A and B are shown apart, each in its own frame.
Chain A
Amino acid sequence: MFGKSKKANSYQLVGRKVPYLFISPWIIGFLVFTLGPLAFSLVMSFFDWPITSDATFIGIDNYKKMFTNDPQFYKSLWITLKFAAIFVPLNLVIALILALLITQPVKGMKFFRTIFYMPAVVSGVAISIIWGWIFNSEYGILNYILSLIGIDGPRWLIDPKWAILTIVIASAWGVGTMMLIFYTDIKGIPAEIYEAAAIDGASPLRQFISITIPSITPTILFNVITSVIAALQQLTLVILLTGGGPLKSTYFYGLYVFNNAFKHHRLGYASANAWFMFIVILILTMIIFKSSSTWVFYENEVKKEGKKKK
């Protein structure tokens, strides 16, 4: 295509390069910092590598073992999917409710906004200690408070039935980031649209459904995808709060991979585990993305299609 008639096409040629110029920082970063390590880990997934000594090539044995001879693999996968199924929708809904709440024009909102955001600022080490205190079943604060009102609190971190919920409660504490993303987007919706709707007699609920939600579908898509990733890779909280217990009920996939790598020193096997999850998340993301064409509305695409129709 290039070089047919250089002169005539010179403007277009620049034009064609322009998008690549814009995205070039990321491409360079990808080639330098991401691609090599990623490929390395893929190569390693075909090796037996005990870290403290040399790696030996073992073909697909790691994958074979993972799928046929490691019950913990399936257990951890299942627990993680279960966690994601609770965590993702719950977090989205809470974040959205909070974002709506803090856009309400009432007094003291700046204060509440800050409070809701603050937990997201606390580092993981402190969070785990705080929740460890609160949820300790014998001498914890929560069960103490419950006992004052005559309730015999559950054994939060000891009873496998409650442990996942405990993790959900503790991780939802950091919902402030997602809230802020929704909030920024909602704030970008022009006030005139709401005013017009109010004049037409639309109730606040009606306004929310037909104005707010459609306008923020792009950020909903973003939050869905990033929280699916976060849920499937959740590690910090379980490693610090439960260590995978009780009775391995919170032995999430992230912890499974981490322990295979750093506790059992089987980095080749851990690479195979990690690559499997990588593919799972990738496929999930693609599905969500494909589906998004039916429920996400971008202003610039709406316009484009409109033109096509003409």
Chain B
Amino acid sequence: MKMSKKHKVIIYGLLGLFSLYFLLPFVWVILSALKTQAEVFSFPPKIFPKVPQWHNFVDAWNSQPFGTYLMNSVIVTVMTTLGQLISCSLVAYGFARYDFKYKNILFVLLLATMMIPWDVTMIPLYMEFNLFGWINTLKPLIVPAFFGSAYYIFLLRQFLMNIPKDLENAARIDGANEFQIFFKIFVPIMKAPLILIAVLNILLVWNDYLGPLIYLQDQSKYTLALGLAAFKGVHTLQILPIMAITLVMIVPPVVVFLFAQKYIVEGTSGSIK
């Protein structure tokens, strides 16, 4: 399909405009991370650092055991993503492709769990994890993911609802059992939304701050997000390390996104609809 020149100009114009909004604060972060303290705060603002302070990154990284934090973050992110993918695909499939008793009540309940105010359930949950002996371990961050999260289940269900019913009926007639239908037919169809969920979950868990803050205690268990927040005290704000670590922390999720794009672009087209 060919595009008219006018059409292209409009598209690039819009892209440029939005890029400004999304990119400029970033550029500022990058430039700031390379400045000296004095340059960061000076007014009128200096756009470029006189001499790029690359050592800011090294200093920030070495100021806390970030190697350990990275390790913990990777463990939590990988494990929760695995857990979410397995459990959410099963549960969403159950809700989207079957009719069963109490389905509506259960689905409303599922949706309701998205609305639970964490402020007031956090303390009882803490007690529960404490009872299990899980406080100051990564378990409270990982284990619940293996039971699925309503957000992803709901999202996946919306995708699955949009697939014609004939698909599994044909397979049933061919004698496939329910789990074969799920694994052989639906898992491949769900590839794009599942990758989307992986991307979203990585993003969420990678930056999760409150969970680790409440359930972890000593530094050997900290995640990157906690390490980043630890540059902010009650009266102090160490801007340079915050900017530097922020930039470092962005890299893994963006790399994941770059890879994931390819599969999302391929989409589900062709196989269904």
Contacts and interface: CB of A to CB of B under 8 A. Distances in A.
Please tell me whether chains A and B touch each other in their complex, using a CB distance cut-off of 8 A.
yes
Interface of A: 15-16, 18-23, 25-30, 32-34, 36-38, 40-41, 44-45, 97-98, 101, 104-106, 110, 112-126, 129-131, 133-134, 139, 141, 144, 173, 177, 180-181, 183-185, 187-191, 195, 198, 204, 215, 218-219, 221-222, 225-226, 229, 233, 257-258, 261-262, 267, 270-271, 274-275, 277-278, 281-282, 285-286, 289, 298-301, 303-304
Contacts of B162: 215, 218, 298-300
Which of A114, A129, A189, A261 is packed against the most chain B CB atoms within 10 Å? Answer: A129
Nearest to B111: A285
B11 A104 contact: yes
Contacts of B12: 106
A98 B19 CA distance: 11
Interface of B: 1, 3, 7-8, 11-12, 14-15, 18-19, 21-23, 25-26, 28-29, 43-45, 86-87, 90-91, 93-100, 103, 106, 108-117, 119-125, 128, 144, 146-148, 150-151, 153-155, 158-159, 161-166, 178, 182, 192-193, 196, 199-200, 203, 206-207, 209, 225, 228-229, 232, 237, 239, 242-243, 246, 249-250, 253-254, 257-258, 261, 264-270, 273
Q: Majority SS of interface residues in chain A?
A: helix
B14 A115 contact: no
A204 B7 CA distance: 10
Given A133-B28, A187-B192, A285-B111, A115 B91 contact: no
Nearest to A131: B25
B115 A23 contact: no
A257 B120 CA distance: 9
A234 B196 CA distance: 23
A275 to B, nearest CB: 8
19 contacts: A16-B100, A25-B87, A26-B87, A29-B146, A33-B128, A123-B249, A126-B243, A129-B239, A130-B25, A184-B264, A185-B159, A226-B114, A229-B114, A257-B117, A270-B119, A275-B117, A281-B115, A300-B162, A303-B164
Contact of A36 (B19, B45, B128, B158): B128
Contacts of A222: 154-155, 158
A60 to B, nearest CB: 17
Contact of B228 (A123, A191, A195): A123
A189 B267 CA distance: 8
Nearest to A97: B14
Contact of B94 (A19, A97, A106, A113): A19
A15 B94 CA distance: 12
A187 B273 contact: no
Contact of B93 (A22, A30, A112, A118): A22
A25 B91 contact: yes
Given A117-B257, A270-B119, 5 more contacts: A114-B261, A121-B206, A173-B22, A188-B267, A299-B163
Q: Majority SS of interface residues in chain B?
A: helix
Nearest to A215: B162
Given A32-B147, A139-B43, A23 B267 contact: no
Nearest to B98: A19
Contacts of B164: 299-300, 303
B123 to A, nearest CB: 7
A282 B115 contact: yes
A225 B26 CA distance: 30
B161 A298 contact: yes
Given A26-B87, A106-B3, A129-B239, A261 B207 contact: no
A125 B228 contact: yes
Contacts of B115: 229, 233, 278, 281-282, 285
B203 A105 contact: no
Nearest to A233: B117
Given A106-B3, A120-B203, A222-B155, A274 B120 contact: yes
B258 A114 contact: yes
Contacts of B122: 37
B45 A144 contact: yes
A23 B196 contact: no
A257 B269 contact: no
Nearest to A148: B44
A112 B15 contact: yes
Contacts of A32: 147
Contacts of A271: 120
Nearest to A28: B147
Contacts of A275: 117, 120
Contact of A119 (B22, B43, B225, B264): B22
Contacts of B209: 123-125
Nearest to A306: B165
Given A34-B113, A119-B26, A25 B243 contact: no
